[in-house]
Amino acid sequence: MASTQEKTGKKKPTVIVTIGMAGSGKTTFLQRLNADLHTKKRPPYVLNLDPAVSKLPFQPNIDIRDTIDYKQVMNEYKLGPNGGILTSLNLFTTKFDQVLSIVDKRAETVEQIEIFTWSASGAIITEALATSYPTVIAYIIDTPRTASPVTFMSNMMYACSILYKTRLPFVLVFNKTDVISHEFALKWMEDFEQFQEALQRQDDTYMNSLMNSMSLVLDEFYSHLRVSGVSAVTGAGMDEFFEKVGEAVKEYENDYKPDLEKRIAEKQNAEKEKRAKQLEALMKDMGVGGSNQGDGVDMPE
Ligand SMILES: Nc1nc2c(ncn2[C@@H]2O[C@H](COP(=O)(O)OP(=O)(O)OP(=O)(O)O)[C@@H](O)[C@H]2O)c(=O)[nH]1
């Protein structure tokens, strides 16, 4: 919060929530981010919220796997892999206020970037973080595997659904640009006709008609995001990524935070009104005030 910053002179750390499809390069990207930030003498504070990840090439500061045994959760609740991940995350969410208080203490000393990775959705955790810190979603894309219009489309739809769910500032990170440049994606996002031409070349009439009906949604989506192309392996494009994160933080301060504060105030008001109504109904039932007054209910002295 600006006022808190002014009082304490402390800059709030930025939270980067890393999301992406399996194999898109999230782990490698986080490893690169971790290394770059250490080089810049801004060591990040890393939270791992992926209970199913087997090996991480870096040491997270807080790791869901230290508290929750994902395989045990699967056995105990008789769940498959996805159910196991979600239930583990739900169990961890109940402890998230403790996690936040640890992060808060660490964040008082240095300017850091919080990184956070997961395989399943965690709207409650994201909102808890976004209430306290400038929070940005980094959506990682496997560029070589997105070069076909159909996979590009499904990836964009998935990203779009996350954007609408979280309402947080977004940076699309086209990874693996050492294999293929993300230029084609930039063209498809800037000019929908070029994308349609690419689709038509595939002669898929179902996808074409789906695309036509989705074009407005996607146009709106593209206007809300920032794009960067990186190679997590070589480190190319990371400076541009940090610039985009900086822009996204400004968007958080200008748009997201006031909206979030409004939503919280509305929730609190609705809660207050509900409680007032419940109290009024209770008083009525007890015969204190209201039209039922004096209907014979004995009040304790
Ligand atoms: N060429 C190239 N390969 C990459 C890059 N980033 C990741 N990879 C490779 O892509 C594969 C998947 O990378 P991971 O970092 O494990 O991907 P992930 O998204 O964490 O995967 P899951 O844990 O399965 O969700 C690995 O073989 C990486 O070496 C990159 O920038 N360039």
Nearest CA to ligand 1 atom 8: 25
Q: Is the pLDDT of residue 49 over 50?
A: yes
Nearest CA to ligand 1 atom 14: 25
The three-class DSSP label of residue 201 is helix
* CA–CA distance, 5 with 3 (Å, rounded to integer): 5
User: What is the value of ipTM here, to two decimals?
Assistant: 0.97
Report pLDDT for 42: 86
pLDDT by residue (tens digit) across 115-152? 555 444 467 778 788 888 899 999 999 999 999 888 89
Indicate the average pLDDT of the chain.
82
What's the token pair of residue 164?
């609408």
* CA–CA distance, 195 with 192 (Å, rounded to integer): 5
Q: Is the pLDDT of residue 286 over 80?
A: yes
Report pLDDT for 76: 92
Higher model confidence: residue 218 or residue 294?
Answer: 218
Amino acid at site 246: G
Report pLDDT for 54: 79
The whole-number average pLDDT for the span 259-274 is 89
Query: Are the C-beta atoms of 179 and 230 separated by less than 8 Å?
Result: no
Task: pLDDT band for 215, please (50, 70, 90 cuts).
Answer: confident
**In this structure, what is the dihedral angle of CA atoms 124, 127, 131, 134, given to the nearest 10 degrees?**
140
Task: pLDDT band for 101, please (50, 70, 90 cuts).
Answer: confident
What residue ranges line ligand 1, CB within 6 angstroms? Answer: 20, 22-28, 53, 119, 175-176, 178-179, 231-233
Look up the pTM and report it. 0.80
| Cβ count near 238 (within 10 Å) | 20
Alpha helix segments (H runs only) across the chain: 2-8, 26-39, 64-67, 70-77, 81-93, 96-107, 123-132, 149-166, 183-190, 192-201, 205-222, 238-251, 257-286
State which ligand 1 atom lies nearest to the alpha carbon of 30.
15
Nearest CA to ligand 1 atom 5: 176
* CA–CA distance, 122 with 86 (Å, rounded to integer): 8
